[in-house]
Amino acid sequence: MAEISLARALNRALSDALADDPDVLVYGEDVGALGGVFRVTDGLAAAFGEDRCFDSPLAEAAIVGTAVGMAMYGQRPVVEMQFDAFALPAFEQVVSHVAKMRNRTRGRVELPLVIRVPYGGGIGAVEHHSDSSEAYFTHTPGLRVVTPATPADGYSMLREAIECPDPVVFLEPKRRYWATAELDLPARTEPMDRAVVRRAGGDVTLIAYGPMVATALEAAEAGRREGRDIEVVDLRSLAPFDEETVVSSVRRTGRAVVVHEASTFGGYGAEVAARVTERCFHYLEAPVLRVGGLDIPYPPPKLEEYHLPGVDRILDAVDRLQWESEWVEGSADGRSTRQHTGVGA
């Protein structure tokens, strides 16, 4: 086994896909000779030629638009949006064509394309380079939206995304590009549409994805030293949502906190919290809480540590989950009442 970074695992997945399938193409801004700003495509143009891995103009709508045409004619394009916010100029193509082609043609035309998007903060970059726009994509029916948190998942999920007959938005947590793990490649992990339990626990479930999985695991370890037995669920797939794994965990622990980098208001965590509440209401000991980025445009690099969720903010939410509360019977206005006295209520 060798120490493999997430970036290296993604590079190997692209290389193996290009070698195995002549219909696979890789292109985007600076992905050819430069190998991408994060070097995820390093060496691919030299190995497979400029017909299989090449640079595009600085025109994201054109990148996705041409990928739609290629996929309609049987090729499997893998395109890169250089940074998360750079995907927004291509959003009309994604929503109006990528997401709708199968339904528009009553299933006759598949669209096997992958849109790779480095996303999230934590690398000291500025706005447009640090955004978390997953909610825009997950709100669009017709898209699969996935995000790996480990090198093994990076390899396995990207290979599966490229083999998928439907369009996949592949969100890559760039603050974890250089995180390593010991593994042998090629690797095959759980199917990309399934969540996994990264750490077992019995008191509370932390639900995280992408860059926040490692942070949630750090919080779980810190919580253990404070007497909390914390379970961590890595969603991996944001759309579709693996309700079965999440519900099973929360029904066992009775408490849940959703963690993500994106701004909390209207964020993906709101959907998760709503679904958990709907399916686990009679099992919950406390309301489902969310820990996310502040409801502000992404801050300057020196201030991002205050914007991004960290161990202390996660454990503060865990502490507000009504650990010392109880139900109190009473009466008011001639009616019987039952009130929760929890500190986090």
Cα 286 to its chain centre, rounded Å, is: 26
Phi then psi for residue 313, to 5 deg, are -70, -35
Any residues with CB less than 8 A from the CB of 29 and at least 6 apart, and which? 55, 56, 57, 58, 63, 80, 82, 86
Q: How far apart are CA 98 and CA 290, in angstroms?
A: 31
> Could you give the count of Cα atoms lying within 13 Å of 91 in the half-sphere of its Cβ?
14
CA-CA distances (angstroms) from residue 158 to 25, 133, 311, 320?
14, 19, 29, 37
Asked if 55 and 30 count as a contact pair (C-beta separation under 8 A), the reply is: yes
pLDDT tens string, the chain, 345 residues long: the values are 899 999 999 999 999 999 999 999 999 999 999 999 999 999 999 999 999 999 999 999 999 999 999 999 999 999 999 999 999 999 999 999 999 999 999 999 999 999 999 999 999 998 889 999 999 999 999 999 999 999 999 999 999 999 999 999 999 999 999 999 999 999 999 999 999 999 999 999 999 999 999 999 999 999 999 999 999 999 999 999 999 999 999 999 999 999 999 999 999 999 999 999 999 999 999 999 999 999 999 999 999 999 999 999 999 999 999 887 655 666 666 665 555 555 443
Mutual orientation of helices 311-319 and 212-225 as an angle, nearest 10°? 60
Q: pTM here?
A: 0.93
Q: Is the separation of the CB atoms in 40 and 14 below 8 Å?
A: yes
**DSSP 3-state percent helix, strand, coil across the chain (nearest 5):** 40, 25, 40
What's 258's DSSP letter? E
Rounded Cα–Cα distance for residues 218 and 125 (Å): 23
Rounded Cα distance between 277 and 279, Å, is: 6
Catalytic residues: 129
Query: What is the set of domains in the chain, with CATH numbers?
Result: 2-183 (3.40.50.970), 196-320 (3.40.50.920)
Given a contact cutoff of 8 angstroms between Cβ atoms, the answer to whether 68 and 111 are in contact is: yes
Largest CA distance in the chain: 81
Q: Which position has the token pair 């070698």?
A: 19
